[in-house]
Amino acid sequence: EKHELIEKLRSNMSRDTWNNWLTTAQILELDDKKVVVGLGNLFIKEAVEKRFGSIIKETINNITGKPLEVIFKEIPISKEQKNAVNGPIIKNRPLKLSEFNPEFTFDSFVTGNSNRIAYYSALEVCKNPGKYNPLFIYGDVGLGKTHLLHAIGNFLMENAPDLKVKYVTAEDFMNQMMDGIRASDMENFRERFRRNVDFLLIDDVQFLIGKNTVQSELFHTFNSLFNSRKQIVICSDRTPDELATFHPRLISRFEMGLITDIQAPDKATKYLIAKKMAQMISLQLTDDVAYYLAEHVDKNLRKLRGAIMNLLLQSQISGAPVNIESAKTIVNSMMRMNANKVRFQSPEVLETVKIDTVIDLVAAEFNINRKDIFSSSRKKEIALARQVLAYLFKTTMKLKTKDISEKLDKNHSTIIHSIKKIEHSLLMGNEMIKNKINNIKNKLEDEKGIL
């Protein structure tokens, strides 16, 4: 069973990735809760975990159909091996790979009305760096933002190999910054992001919502690069305007350049994307199957890719070509997985989604805009909405006062005062506030099924 899993994993990954990084992979343990994947040495283990950890997890979950925990370990060196290696240390370093996914190129990106502008903006930025600065691309999850960032990286590596192009997710940026702070070596961090970069690609910037210190570091990075005419490209799942808790000065930087969106693809584009994805992995996908997938798989193109990878796997196992029946089976099983989605979401993601939902519900209940909550307005309803929000964060979501103060960008004592004030109103039997809070709680309860 372990061997089988490795074989399936291999057939699901690109051949280059496998040959460069994963030839030493073994399944050390496998039960219904977890898989332990062993890898050649510490260096390989760390590199694989960092680069391919999430994709390997996703693939293993797809293969086994269970949300297993995936743990990476270096394979312990046996005594015999140790003895054999007396003398020069064997360098098991794999070939250096570019940090860009070779499959995410401009060539492999299918354009349609939903994404054409984003595509051409990305290409334009490569050809005329600095012309639109920053380029800000937003769109829902799975619509091709990361693909475009990597396409920029791949294009520049090929056409302008001297340019220093750096790709970083906002989360990674934060972690590296934390490391810098911990090691009291911010110089090094700043050097890495300000001086040694000609082209900075920042993915999933919405991750920094509520993280004020990191935003401020990003602001300085941004200015430094911008002033030396370096190009910046930013991706986000919402518009600058909707990054509600972002510092206004950072938002206005984002708005300085070109903002483009990616929309959900129409059926025809989805059909072409399905064809392209199949072609990339040398899978024969007949028109009727591609059309069926375009019609039935969600707009999130990661799911489309998941379906196609599954079809490849099935046809390899059965030795039979893909047909509409196998496509139906896979689409149905994906829908069942969807129903169990909660189990696949990481707790952090769920938490963020929930916080966001509570903010939206409070804004709706008080008939104000989400943005107002984070404004400095002292209007009565707005101030009250803020207090209720702080109260719900504390009582329903059990957030710490410190975190609430960070999320709402208000100081500690204001938050404590807000919560006390609502508690007091409830004690005094204030019906209006009581009703509003109940309405919000009920709606939150309704959303639970979806979250």
Q: Summarize as ranges the residues that interact with ligand ADP (CB under 6 A).
A: 104, 108-110, 115, 139, 141-147, 273, 276, 301-302, 305
- The H or E element containing residue 148 is helix 145-159
> Closest CB to ligand ADP among 90 and 141?
141
Q: Provide, rounded to whole angstroms, the least separation between the CB of residue 317 and ligand ADP.
A: 22
Counting other chains too, the contacts that 44-50 makes at CB distance below 8 Å and 24 or more residues apart are 44/74, 44/92, 44/94, 45/72, 45/73, 45/74, 47/21, 47/94, 48/21, 48/22, 48/72
Strands 26-30 and 34-39 come out as antiparallel
Binds 109, which of Mg ion, ligand ADP, none (CB < 5 to 8 A, cut-off by type)? Answer: ligand ADP
Q: Provide, rounded to whole angstroms, the least separation between the CB of residue 262 and Mg ion.
A: 11
Does residue 231 interact with Mg ion by CB under 5 A? no
Q: Provide, rounded to whole angstroms, the least separation between the CB of residue 119 and Mg ion.
A: 15
Instruction: List the one residue out of 283, 323, 273 whose CA is nearest residue 303.
Output: 273
Q: Give alpha helix (H) positions in 366-411.
A: 370-373, 380-395, 401-408
Binds 143, which of ligand ADP, Mg ion, none (CB < 5 to 8 A, cut-off by type)? Answer: ligand ADP
> Closest CB to ligand ADP among 147 and 253?
147
Binds 276, which of ligand ADP, Mg ion, none (CB < 5 to 8 A, cut-off by type)? Answer: ligand ADP
Residues 133-152 that bind Mg ion (CB under 5 A): 145-146
Q: Provide, rounded to whole angstroms, the least separation between the CB of residue 21 and ligand ADP.
A: 19
> Closest CB to Mg ion among 146 and 425?
146
Residues 143-202 that bind Mg ion (CB under 5 A): 145-146
Q: Provide, rounded to whole angstroms, the least separation between the CB of residue 78 and ligand ADP.
A: 39
Q: In what order do the strands lie in the sheet with 69-74?
A: 26-30, 34-39, 69-74
Return the residue nearest Mg ion (CB atom).
Answer: 146
Q: Provide, rounded to whole angstroms, the least separation between the CB of residue 101 and ligand ADP.
A: 8
Instruction: List the one residue out of 16, 21, 100, 7 whose CA is nearest residue 53.
Output: 21
Binds 250, which of ligand ADP, Mg ion, none (CB < 5 to 8 A, cut-off by type)? Answer: none
Phi, psi of 233 (to 5 degrees): -125, 130
- Report the C-alpha gap between 161 and 154 in whole angstroms: 10
> Closest CB to ligand ADP among 273 and 419?
273
Binds 142, which of Mg ion, ligand ADP, none (CB < 5 to 8 A, cut-off by type)? Answer: ligand ADP
Q: Provide, rounded to whole angstroms, the least separation between the CB of residue 58 and ligand ADP.
A: 11
Instruction: List the one residue out of 143, 168, 379, 138 whose CA is nearest residue 236.
Output: 138
- What is the DSSP secondary-structure string of 215-256? HHHHHHHHHHHHHTT-EEEEEESS-GGG-TTS-HHHHHHHTT
- The residues that touch Mg ion, with contacts defined as CB under 5 A, are 145-146
